[in-house]
Amino acid sequence: MITALTNGRVLTDRGVVERRTVLIEGARIRDIVAPGDAPHDATVRDLQDGLLLPGFIDTQVNGGGGVLFGDTPTVDALRRIAAAHARFGTTGFLPTLISGDFALIRAAIAAVDTAIEAGVPGVLGIHIEGPFLNTARKGIHDASKFRPLDDEAFALLTSVKRGKTMVTLAPEQTTPQIIASLAKAGVIVSAGHTDGTYAQIHAALAHGLTGFTHLFNAMSPLRAREPGAVGAALDDAESYCGIIVDGKHVDPATLRIALRCKRADRVMLVTDAMPSVGAADKHFALQGRMITVKDGVCVAPDGTLAGSDLDMASAVRNTMSMLGLDIKTASEMAARNPAAFLGLSGELGAIRAGLRASLVCVDDALNVRELWIDGQPVRSA
């Protein structure tokens, strides 16, 4: 069975092209052809001049649709979170677990393993954010859960059977050798909630650290005589930086300055989304504290930021309006770059023959019209 997506504008590696038809066969893109070159027996889907983009990939999703993964680490919760984010163009994501005890982490890993085995659309692995963090930069995390990255922790972090494992840690709370061992075992290591010095972060980068979790937030800042984690991130050419573009977590001017330091292909959009995304109720509990969405931001009673109410379509839209980037660059930050960070460039992140057909059709205002994950149309929440 071949599906032909016609009458749309397609974002290819060269930019947006018109009068092209994307052929889907099974789970993958078969080809991109002229409208008249589609097989005569193909099932035709008219995109009605919509813009076809690679599906968005979000490496930091705490929840959505009224569900917090850390409270309900189950396959059903993952289905609900995935459906909520599909409304906003997300075709792949890492359910994210903030600092908790090992029993919770084990349950979350088991849920992700089972969800991937069961084919829950969009689940690409797991992001374990903590508990190997620095109290000085704890943010909303419960510091009583923090602990050293010992042998038991290492075994747990390397126990995921399916999908990708991303771990956010404070490099100064462990050793370069442990980071190297995690990377060798296939774990994607990112720095976050860190008070590390430039030298400590630089050493971690030399031993397998490849990412920075929500750049600028909860990390040692760039100073005149101590560049800190931010300075190390901007100075390193190859590492990837996740950014939350909601105009609240980081001032847009700060992000524009960062983009003059960091190559655009090493920056990826993340939401750090909480249960409020895709839900009518804008209040939720997080580790015993009531979180409220105020002016588009999730905050604890003391004013501490607690993730976000941001979705990926809005993140792309904000990247264009706040940072002055074009649709190709903004889309790549939402799809190609996170795919590369996760080691999935040969599978996802672009509209190209041979890649998985995870696609989103949007209008000119980036409102989602239709969504496909691995070639299958997906009904969102």
Sheet holding 289-294: strands in order across?
Answer: 283-286, 289-294, 297-299, 305-308
Q: How far apart are CA 341 and CA 230, in angstroms?
A: 18
Cα gap 51→78, rounded to integer Å: 28
| SS3 at position 118 | helix
Compute the radius of gyration of the chain from its Cα atoms.
Answer: 20
Phi, psi of 27 (to 5 degrees): -90, 0
Q: Cα(294)–Cα(291) distance, rounded to whole angstroms? A: 9
Q: Which long-range contacts (CB under 8 A, 24 or more apart) does 99-104 make?
A: 99/129, 99/130, 99/131, 99/133, 99/141, 99/142, 99/145, 99/146, 100/70, 100/130, 100/131, 100/145, 101/131, 101/145, 102/152, 102/153, 102/156, 104/70, 104/73
Give the ranges where 10-118 is alpha helix by DSSP (H): 75-86, 102-118
Residue 268 and residue 334: Cα distance in Å, rounded?
6
- Comparing CA positions, the residue from 146, 111, 112, 148 lying closest to residue 131 is 146
8 A C-beta contact, residue 78 and residue 110: no
Supply the DSSP symbol for 213.
S
**What's at 281, amino acid-wise?**
D
Q: Say which of 31, 195, 272, 309 is annotated catalytic.
A: 272
- Whether the CB-CB separation of 18 and 9 falls below 8 Å is answered with yes
Residue 46 is a catalytic residue = no
For the annotated catalytic residues, the residue numbers are 272
